[in-house]
Amino acid sequence: MVRAAVLPAVQAPLEITDIELPETGPGQVRVSLAAAGVCHSDLSLSNGTMRLPVPCVLGHEGAGTVLEVGEGVEHVAPGDGVVLNWAPSCGVCHPCRIGEVWLCADALKGAANVHARLADGTELHPGLNVGAFAQETLVAANCVLPAPAGIPLTDAALLGCAVLTGYGAVHHSARVRAGETVAVFGIGGVGLAVLQSARIAGASRIVAVDVTPEKEELARLAGATDYVVASATTPREIRKLTDGVGADVAVECVGRAQTIRTAWESTRRGGRTTVVGIGAKDQDVTFNALEIFHWGRTLTGCVYGNSDPERDLPVLAAHIRAGRFDVSSMVTERISLDGIPAAFENMIAGKGGRALVTF
């Protein structure tokens, strides 16, 4: 039996309880978790914004050590450090065949599997394929990647979602160029990764936007040159900071209709807005036909940072080892499994950066 955070039903309180994992089967890897980040996607699953089978073990951003591998697994071995990959690509669907592995049609297919059981026999699913909010997890072999050498597993845990997403949003989706100005909306875990990535891309001005003034120091440490407390006048304030022009790029990390609209309005004519935040289906964003023509702006979605983990993890690792990207600075709270509900409440209230469950 291992301790885990179980979501019994949508919008139900999390239960920290014992679960029983099955024996390691062919093509599977058993991992002892070192750490798992508390991501907004976990909250979105718990409140029903994302619809996946429940009851489930939450958690998808994590790293740990391989305990056991099943028959046919050759890319990792017991004792290896690994990063969990919650969105593995199948390699055969249309998006995978054209190189857009982040849009794999079967990426979340594993979330429907039976992952573990409660003591009373209740079947549990892996919330986002990997069930990382647990002392141990059992995953498909394509859900683990070798952890980059020289990086603590507690840092490597954030590579599995926040860092890959933030880095990819800047370098793959928005394609920020040196000298451009970037506005980042929402300074949580992903937003902090976006700020650092914009700095690496050579952005000349990086404006952090959040609803609370308390995050300014955190944002500036991550690379923000300016900080704006969100309000109805945010687009005007960003234009003032950019000589009346507006930002070249806006990255929205919140997933709310009003924030998406504000990010779009904060860019210059011909500017680019990338939406990373996962919003609810009733969050409608509206535009009129004339403004779309006149402003010539681009609005695009961004899934998992448009990243290919196998391609991007070595690049990110090089930035981390060179001191260009500081993963540990993104963590504002280290907690146990019992602290996850409070971390969700802090997320809803807009407090802090990334909470990290350490085992």
Annotated domain spans of the chain: 2-160+326-358, 167-303
- What value does the mean pLDDT take over residues 337-346? 95
- What value does the mean pLDDT take over residues 257-281? 96
Kindly indicate the confidence band of residue 55, based on its pLDDT and cuts at 50, 70 and 90.
very high
- What value does the mean pLDDT take over residues 225-243? 97
Q: 3-state DSSP call for residue 34? A: strand
Rg (CA), the chain: 20
Token pair, residue 333, equals 């709270």
Residue-level pLDDT at 51? 87
Query: What's the CATH fold of domain 2-160+326-358?
Result: Quinone Oxidoreductase; Chain A, domain 1 (3.90.180)
Homologous superfamily in CATH for domain 167-303: NAD(P)-binding Rossmann-like Domain (3.40.50.720)
| Predicted confidence (pLDDT) at residue 351 exceeds the cutoff of 90 | no
Residue-level pLDDT at 352? 86
Contacts of 291 (CB under 8 A, 6+ apart): none
Residue-level pLDDT at 218? 96
Quote helix, strand, coil % in the chain, to nearest 5.
Answer: 35, 25, 40
Tens digits of residue pLDDT in 183-213: 999 999 999 999 999 999 999 999 999 999 9
- What value does the mean pLDDT take over residues 14-40? 97
Q: What pTM was computed for the model?
A: 0.95
257-265 helix and 234-241 helix, angle to the nearest 10 degrees: 30
Rounded CA separation 145/160 (Å): 9
Q: Do domains 2-160+326-358 and 167-303 have the same CATH topology?
A: no
Best CA proximity match to 278, nearest among 299, 297, 260, 262 = 260
Kindly indicate the confidence band of residue 350, based on its pLDDT and cuts at 50, 70 and 90.
confident
Rounded CA separation 25/31 (Å): 13
Residue-level pLDDT at 36? 98
Contact 135/357 with Cβ under 8 angstroms?
no
